[in-house]
């Protein structure tokens, strides 16, 4: 079996809220709790969940921009916190992050040529301007920014949002990463061009076999991008369902996944009208600083079983079809991994 690129083992991340200038007593909030996630070479993983559930924090931990508070991040068999400088620098090249905002990601004072050739010179991938021009041109062609002459001398503000995000994607490819963490890569783009950028990412994935962690709050995007890969559904800092995207989307098991899917419009308006939303018991998302006991979805869950769901935190349990679900409807919820160790 191929060695994973990255493994998160029981990763918990806490932040302190309040105190300092804001006044009040500082409070520790556990934004991510006991996350276990393995990303293998060439694999597509979609991470989906409502805004604020911890997706970006997970992406940052995987990209090495944020350390976990507890648990381990394993890179090619080694604990990230114990890598020496050289190994850490190799890791930072292996894992590239593409985030939401292509405006913020590009230096407004540089031309596209300077933006893309900078890392090439820094990492000694090119020796002179002639080589750099050739490599930058190839890269622009790869991300469909053609004819190249129309883009290479321009500044970011002269491009559209979609074109800028293509430049960001091009830059993420320079060091030939093995994993790209794409955090809501199209959510700031016009709806009309989202699919073309996601299509580009899929094509690059197929061509280069780079692994993808595709983060989105939009299940429709996950459905489109994630075909053939895995889907992780996150709720309030925990993964509640994980499995092959087709299985999870085709027959969601966790009531939260079911609710997300029922809210999704169908291409056929008739079908959309016929779909009944899941009747949640509450629309309020609980505060991370005051998490409900047991399954954190229980105050909203239509299948809530008193005395069970509000007891212990359910663990992710493997199902016969290969997925894992953290829900007492499907097992005793104790989990088959050590995912839900008591939070000390």
Ligand X SMILES: Nc1ncnc2c1ncn2[C@@H]1O[C@H](COP(=O)(O)OP(=O)(O)O)[C@@H](O)[C@H]1O
Q: Which of 324, 323, 187, 179 lies closest to 246, judged by CA?
A: 323
| Overall size of the chain counted in residues | 344
Strand partners, 12: 70
Question: Which residue's Cβ has the minimum distance to Mg ion?
Answer: 56
Looking at residue 148, the DSSP 8-state letter turns out to be T
Task: Report the C-alpha gap between 226 and 266 in whole angstroms.
Answer: 17
DSSP state of 128: S
Are the C-beta atoms of residues 255 and 298 closer than 8 Å to each other? no
Full DSSP string of 181-203 = EEESTTTTS-HHHHHHHHHHHHH
Q: Which one among 48, 53, 182, 259 touches ligand X, defined by CB under 6 A?
A: 53
Q: Smallest gap, in angstroms, from Cβ of residue 80 to ligand X?
A: 18
Minimum CB separation of residue 92 from Mg ion in Å reads 21
Min CB(264)–ligand X separation in Å: 18
Report the residue from 288, 313, 316, 317 that binds ligand X according to the rule CB under 6 A.
288
Q: Which does 40 bind (CB under 5 to 8 A by kind): ligand X, Mg ion, none?
A: none
Question: Residue 106 belongs to what H/E stretch?
Answer: none
- When CB distances are held under 5 to 8 angstroms depending on the partner's kind, the choice from Mg ion, ligand X, none that residue 57 binds is ligand X
Q: How far is the CB of 57 from ligand X (least distance, A)?
A: 3
By CB under 6 A, is residue 18 in contact with ligand X?
A: no
Residue 123 is given by DSSP the state T
**Of residues 39-78, those binding Mg ion (CB under 5 A):** 55-56
Among 56, 96, 117, 257, binds ligand X (CB under 6 A): 56
Q: Which of 31, 73, 80, 181 binds ligand X (CB under 6 A)?
A: 31
Instruction: Label the pairing between strands 317-318 and 238-244.
Output: unpaired
- Interface with Mg ion (CB under 5 A): 55-56
- Interface with ligand X (CB under 6 A): 15, 17, 31, 49, 51-57, 288
């Amino acid at each position: 079996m191929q060695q994973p690129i990255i493994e998160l083992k029981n990763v918990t991340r806490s932040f302190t809220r309040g105190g300092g200038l804001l006044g009040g007593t500082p409070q520790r909030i556990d934004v991510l709790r006991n996350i276990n996630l393995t990303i293998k070479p060439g694999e597509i993983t979609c991470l989906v969940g409502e805004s604020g559930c911890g997706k970006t924090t997970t992406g940052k931990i995987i990209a090495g921009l944020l350390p976990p508070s507890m648990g381990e991040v394993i890179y090619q068999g080694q604990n990230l916190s114990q890598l020496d400088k050289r190994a850490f620098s190799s890791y930072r090249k292996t894992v590239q992050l593409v985030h939401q905002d292509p405006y913020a990601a590009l230096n407004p004072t540089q031309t596209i040529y300077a933006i893309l050739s900078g890392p090439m010179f820094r990492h000694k991938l090119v020796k002179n301007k002639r080589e750099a021009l050739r490599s930058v041109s190839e890269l622009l062609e790869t991300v469909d920014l053609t004819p190249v002459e129309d883009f290479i001398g321009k500044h970011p503000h002269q491009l559209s949002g979609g074109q800028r995000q293509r430049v960001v994607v091009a830059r993420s490819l320079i060091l030939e990463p093995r994993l790209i963490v794409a955090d809501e890569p199209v959510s700031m783009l016009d709806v009309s061009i989202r699919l073309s950028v996601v299509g580009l990412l899929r094509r690059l994935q197929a061509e280069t076999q780079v692994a993808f962690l595709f983060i989105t709050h939009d299940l429709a995007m996950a459905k489109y991008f994630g075909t053939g890969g895995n889907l992780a559904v996150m709720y309030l800092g925990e993964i509640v369902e994980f499995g092959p995207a087709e299985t999870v989307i085709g027959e969601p098991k966790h009531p939260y996944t079911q609710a997300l899917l029922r809210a999704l419009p169908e291409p056929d308006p008739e079908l959309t009208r016929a779909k009944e939303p899941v009747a949640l018991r509450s629309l309020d998302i609980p505060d991370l600083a005051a998490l409900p006991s047991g399954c954190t979805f229980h105050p909203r869950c239509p299948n809530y079983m008193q005395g069970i769901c509000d007891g212990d935190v359910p663990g992710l349990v493997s199902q016969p079809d290969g997925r894992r679900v953290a829900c007492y409807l499907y097992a005793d919820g104790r989990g088959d991994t050590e995912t839900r160790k008591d939070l000390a």
